[in-house]
Amino acid sequence: MNELSNSVAHADITTILHPYTDARMHEQKGPLVIEKGDGVHVIDQSGKRYIEAMSGLWSVAVGFSQTRLRDAAAAQMEKLPYYHTFASKSHEPSVRLAEKLVEMTPENLTRVFYTSSGSEANDTVIKLVWYMNNALGRPQKKKFLARNKAYHGITIASGSLTGLPGNHRDFDLPAIPVVHLTCPHLYRFGQEGETEAQFCARLLKEAEDTILAEGPETIAAFIGEPVMGAGGVMVPPEGYWQGIEALCRKYDILLVSDEVINGFGRTGARWGCEKMGFTPDILVTSKQLTSSYMPLAAIVFSEDIYNVIADNTHKLGGFGHGFTASGHPVACAVGLENLAIIEEQGLMENAAKMGERLQAGLAKLADHPLVGEVRGTGLIAAVELVADKATKRPFDPVGKVGGKVFEYGHEEGVIFRNLGDSIAVCPPLIVTEHDVDEIVRLMGIAIDRAADWARAEGLVA
């Protein structure tokens, strides 16, 4: 490590509190300082290259060195670096991106509201739904249905929708009225001998029983990721989403598709809701919207919802919600150029094709003695590690072996993410056959090394 690296690392551990990090452990180990991006690779301060198999945080569609996005940001900075969208003000980038999102999303979604992150967006969804139901004279219709192991953000309200204990502990969450249903993951939550169809039927019965027990008049919305991401990359059973949509229509419950990770081809289709075969009332997108070159998120919702909200803003004399950066012109300009690249280069089609190769490659790891399940769709997948394949017994503590795969991946020159003992991959949409094959190869090496370590530690026979 050179002098500059030492200087940056020291400044880091003496000034920054990192997200999703054991702060005391970080003080001892220090950061991995990334200095440069190059396509699907990132490069640290020592010059070591890594395949970024997680697209940063599920988010960099066009890779880490797309000059067109740099140029789009620079051009907009020169023309209009900032203006707000409060009080009937507007600017062309926000309008053109809204038009594009309406064009790209399901036909019933016609209106757009901007935030800077998926967490802010899902917070806003909660407020929009509450605002709408108050306007309709339904003040009791405020509860949300979500799922265990779901991820919907990290602010107080969106973090309440999230169904991960680590995001709730000592934060006093959930802090809003939300009911978490069973995670739709057969491998972990199916009963002994239960088929996929039986599992699906049980989950749908649980959802309907919950609606009836809580009272349909109190349930405002059901929110879900079409394919669950940060909870471990779980693909729901066939028929699940159609059943959930039918229940929402039956009991007058809004259906929210959280596409922050799923959107723009990640699942092998344009949107996760299209992949899973349902039509939402509200769709939330972020991350790949700008390839995370700029912070931006958007909520796209139906005309029916808009009309109720618009009428209430007229009644009250305004809409008391918004952010300084709502529809930021530079972020929107970058988003427009990013979507143009995705379409011009056929990256959604590439994701479907490379996704098949990724899923097939990872499937070959299923026979490994540490691998319990390989799962995913499109360019998003996970390999779950277990202490015992026959019984599906997890490691104790969960995450210790997954953490070694994460660590060995770095040593081998690839960045995965361990979600407990599920090793997630979610590479940029620009990946080639060679990139996919290399990710699979390095995953195998990292798991082999972790297996050797686990045996030495007495964690497996």
pLDDT tens profile 154-208: 999 999 999 999 999 999 999 999 999 999 999 999 999 999 999 999 999 999 9
Chain centre distance of CA 267? 11
Confidence tier at 6 by pLDDT (50, 70, 90): confident
Is the model's pLDDT at 335 over the cut of 90?
Answer: yes
Is the Cβ–Cβ distance between 190 and 234 less than 8 Å?
Answer: no
Q: Summarize pLDDT for 7-53 with one digit per residue, the tens.
A: 999 999 999 999 999 999 999 999 999 999 999 999 999 999 999 99
Q: What is the DSSP string of 302-321?
A: EHHHHHHHHHHHHHHTS---
Q: Strands 49-52 and 414-415, how do they pair?
A: parallel
Chain centre distance of CA 15? 28
Q: How many residues does the chain have?
A: 461
- DSSP tag of 142: -
Is the Cβ–Cβ distance between 358 and 439 less than 8 Å?
Answer: yes
Q: Summarize pLDDT for 350-376 with one digit per residue, the tens.
A: 999 999 999 999 999 999 999 999 999
Q: Summarize pLDDT for 416-438 with one digit per residue, the tens.
A: 999 999 999 999 999 999 999 99
Burial classification of residue 317, based on how many CB atoms lie within 10 Å of its CB (0-12 exposed, 13-18 middle, 19 or more buried): exposed
Is the model's pLDDT at 4 over the cut of 60?
Answer: no
Query: Which tokens is 442 given?
Result: 């390095």
Q: Which residue has the tokens 């919702």?
A: 301
Average pLDDT over residues 73-97: 98
Confidence tier at 461 by pLDDT (50, 70, 90): confident
Q: What is the pLDDT of residue 1?
A: 45
* Residues whose CB is less than 8 angstroms from the CB of residue 346 and which lie 6 or more positions away in sequence, other chains included: none
Alpha-carbon distance of 169 to 164, in angstroms, equals 9
Enumerate domains of the chain plus CATH numbers.
32-62+346-456 (3.90.1150.10), 68-344 (3.40.640.10)
Is the model's pLDDT at 291 over the cut of 50?
Answer: yes
Confidence tier at 5 by pLDDT (50, 70, 90): low
Is the model's pLDDT at 111 over the cut of 80?
Answer: yes
Alpha helices in 16-84 (DSSP H): 23-29, 55-58, 67-79
Q: What is the pLDDT of residue 3?
A: 54
Is the Cβ–Cβ distance between 151 and 231 less than 8 Å?
Answer: yes
Q: Strands 143-147 and 371-377, how do they pair?
A: unpaired
Alpha-carbon distance of 94 to 114, in angstroms, equals 9
Is the Cβ–Cβ distance between 338 and 147 less than 8 Å?
Answer: no
Q: Which residue has the tokens 């066939």?
A: 238
